[in-house]
A and B are shown apart, each in its own frame.
Chain A
Amino acid sequence: MRIKLLLASLLAFLGIVLAAGARAEINVGVTLSATGPAASLGIPEKNTFALLPTTIAGQKINYIILDDASDTTTAVKNTRKLLAENKVDVVIGSTTTPNSLAMIDVVAEGETPMISMAASARIIDPMDGKRAWVFKTPQNDAQMATALVQHMLDNQVRTVAYIGFADAYGEGWWNEFSRIAEARKIQIVGNERFNRADTSVTGQVLKILAAKPDAVLVGGAGTPAALPQKSLKDKGYRGLMYQTHGVANADFLRVCGKDCEGTFLPAGPVLVAAQLPNGNPIKKVALEYVTKYEALHGKGTASTFGAHAWDASLLLAHAVPEALKKAQPGTPEFRKALRQALEKTTNLTAAHGVFNMSPQDHLGFDQRARVMVRIDNGTWKLVE
């Protein structure tokens, strides 16, 4: 009796193993920041995975989504787990730059391609043996800063003051922006810092006002970036205001209200998808994403952050058929082929821009990947 049972279960087990081998599903491991300080970026990304196609080129796709709580150690742990236990063919994540940087070593060791949804250029630059496995979908900060500086030059801005977060985000923007602005002969007359949880920035704002700049750039993300702008308006500042693409969500408009009217920011085209000219190839892809997302979560809920996850899946949909020609999913050969196929992505139109990758450039966006946006009547308005 006992032997019979043992035999039966052995057979069943064998059957499962064989069936799994025959189907050869593609496993996509995802780690993102659905909780913690980066939650307002991670939640729309997580929501986006629910909209993604479940098959590519006839192969079933399994998304294994883990939360890293905006924590670097957890992101690395998640990545190790995805590689070792789930035997994933590709890793998507994580939401923030520190997490993504820490994951590079793990995926390179496991020879698995990774598509990051974080912004810093350092994730794919300098291109070396390890970063050969790493790709990313958001625009580099430098690319956004260049657009900002160009807009300032076009509007006769001669002097500018900067006020940013007292953390890696504010520091990163300060480095990129000050470098580009000085190269283009815009004088920087102020460099101030504030904390996300600060209740008052009067001191910093008074110092900026004393320097009388033509424009002020706020280097903050989400609703906290509204505080300096409100204080500046309260104290009578009437010059040009700029924000970064970190504020591109609906909550920022809600909290900042009328004080943010007329503010300029660089953003991915998906933010103003409906306003793009009809000839723009990005419009169709971006609108498709926005429509699908808002059908599920309500009008005005789509953000630029979720679109980075959407773009990652477009990259996969483009590369997987190529890789399938060379190897079966679940094998090292398939992962290698997938990496090569991703690197050869050309003229792929996504929600944030057009990908043209090369062995040196694992992002491959050009100036079509950014637009200038103005806040107008509490909505985002494309600047021609």
Chain B
Amino acid sequence: MDLQIALLLGQDGVTNGAIYALLALALVLVFAVTRVIFIPQGEFVAFGALTLASLQAGKLPGTAWLLLAMGMAIGLIEGAAAVRARRFHRLPLILLINCGAPLLLAASLLAVSPAGLPLLVQVLLTLMLVVPLGPMLYRLAYQPVAEASVLALLIVSVAVHVTLTGIGLLFFGAEGSRTPAFTDASFAVGDVVLQGQTLLVIVASALLIVALYLFFERTLYGKALRATAMNRTGARLMGISGDLAGLLSFTLAGAIGAFSGVLISPITTVYYDSGFLIGLKGFVGAIIGGLASYPAAAAGAVLVGLLEAYSSFWASAFKEVIVFTLIIPVLLWRSLKTRHVEEA
């Protein structure tokens, strides 16, 4: 291995690591606020990439139907609750948000041909289709059991993951898709050619991480989320709604997932079930951060990316084994270092 190969591998590792870092952050966020180990995080990556690919192929993406169906279900549940509580004045707003907005989106997609739109609009449409699935999932699957144990929430996560994978197969088929590159630019730095696309991934991930930092440090909602993460009961006593915190964290997780999907869709072929493995590697990064520390999770995810790149060079047949074995020494070290506190 000479310096050039080492640098190229490093570039590849950091690019993949940047995506894993985003997912690791989303996993830490969701776990800290709601105690949900969000296994379906990867599905948002796959849905984001495949929705963009369907839009570019000029087809109505299946996620539009999913959005409609879930919106109807939530509208029904919330509407019924409002009627039972005799708060009829809330009905129009509930129906408008949950049923009206998805219908409008689907109808406008049918009306214009999405294939001809500029890339930026296509990306925006993709985000509009996929991101709301996050809070909707929370409302339908997690909110009714929000006070359950971590194990019960994990089981719900597995169920949601399996369901979404099945739905993905139904919507997008068994063979994957790849979108055209956002940019063909490339820069020569010394001997190494830097591809514009990989730079875009790294820069976009870094910007998103900074944005998340600002959100948590400077905004009221961000501070409310942090408060809930630190002490759920205490936060609720201070008037922070647990449901709102859950919805907010799932929205962020959905946005990060869908955005990651859009970022990687030109780099690699994404299949209906690709998300799981990508999410799992983000999870390894999050575990290195103890599912609590954002910087440690991001650093861990980049480490996973680098390890993956170099092990695929040295021993490609054992790549996954090497990456996932990393979790054992980390867990050992963590279990020796920390004292276990029983959950109340």
Contacts and interface: CB of A to CB of B under 8 A. Distances in A.
Interface string A210-232: 10000000000011101100000
Contact of A210 (B5, B176, B312): B5
Contact of A203 (B177, B269, B277, B313): B313
Nearest to B313: A203
A166 B269 contact: no
Given A195-B320, A203-B310, A223 B16 contact: no
A106 B88 CA distance: 65
A185 interface: no
B273 interface: yes
B317 A166 contact: yes
Interface string B4-45: 010011001001100000000000000000000000000000
Contact of B5 (A40, A193, A206): A206
Contacts of A40: 174-175
B107 to A, nearest CB: 28
Interface in B290-323: 308-314, 316-317, 319-320
Contacts of A202: 8-9, 12, 309, 312
Residue with the greatest number of chain A CB neighbours at <10 A, chosen from B175, B277, B319: B175
B108 interface: no
Given A39-B174, A40-B174, A40-B175, A197 B277 contact: yes
Contacts of B8: 202, 206, 235
Contact of B274 (A166, A199, A249): A199
A255 interface: yes
Contact of A227 (B175, B269, B273, B314): B269
Interface string A163-175: 1001000000000
Contacts of A222: 174-175
Interface residues of A, number: 31
A251 B175 contact: yes
B174 to A, nearest CB: 5
A193 B175 contact: no
Contacts of A200: 12, 15-16, 267-268, 308-309, 312
Residue with the greatest number of chain B CB neighbours at <10 A, chosen from A206, A223, A234: A206
A359 to B, nearest CB: 39
A107 B166 CA distance: 33
B175 A203 contact: no
Interface in A228-260: 234-235, 249, 251-252, 255
Contacts of B309: 200, 202-203
A309 B186 CA distance: 48
A252 B320 CA distance: 25
Contacts of B276: 197
A206 B9 contact: yes
A201 B312 contact: yes
Contacts of A198: 268
Nearest to B312: A203
A199 B16 contact: yes
A234 B308 CA distance: 19
Contacts of A68: none
A38 to B, nearest CB: 9
Interface string A36-55: 00011000000000000000
B226 interface: no
Given A197-B274, A202-B309, A223-B269, A255 B316 contact: no
B312 to A, nearest CB: 3
A224 B273 CA distance: 12
A197 B16 contact: no
B267 A199 contact: yes
A203 B5 CA distance: 9
A192 interface: yes
A39 B310 CA distance: 33
Contacts of A196: 271
A255 to B, nearest CB: 5
A334 interface: no
Interface in A139-195: 163, 166, 192-195
B316 A192 contact: yes
Contacts of A197: 271, 273-274, 276-277
B273 A203 contact: no
B312 A204 contact: yes
A207 interface: yes
Nearest to B19: A199
Contact of B268 (A206, A227, A235): A227
Contacts of B12: 200, 202-203
B127 interface: no
A254 to B, nearest CB: 8
B264 interface: yes
Contacts of A224: 176, 269, 271
B264 A199 contact: yes
A202 B273 CA distance: 21
Nearest to B268: A199
Contact of A204 (B174, B177, B268, B313): B313
A345 B12 CA distance: 55
A199 B278 contact: yes
A234 B193 CA distance: 10
Nearest to B309: A203
Interface of A: 39-40, 163, 166, 192-204, 206-207, 210, 222-224, 226-227, 234-235, 249, 251-252, 255
Interface of B: 5, 8-9, 12, 15-16, 174-178, 195, 264, 267-269, 271, 273-274, 276-278, 308-314, 316-317, 319-320
16 contacts: A39-B174, A163-B316, A166-B317, A195-B319, A195-B320, A197-B273, A199-B16, A199-B267, A200-B268, A202-B8, A203-B313, A203-B316, A203-B319, A206-B8, A224-B176, A234-B195
Given A199-B274, A204-B313, 8 more contacts: A163-B316, A192-B316, A193-B317, A194-B312, A194-B316, A203-B310, A204-B312, A255-B177
9 tightest CB-CB pairs across the interface, nearest first?
A203-B312, A203-B313, A251-B175, A202-B12, A199-B268, A193-B317, A193-B316, A192-B316, A223-B175
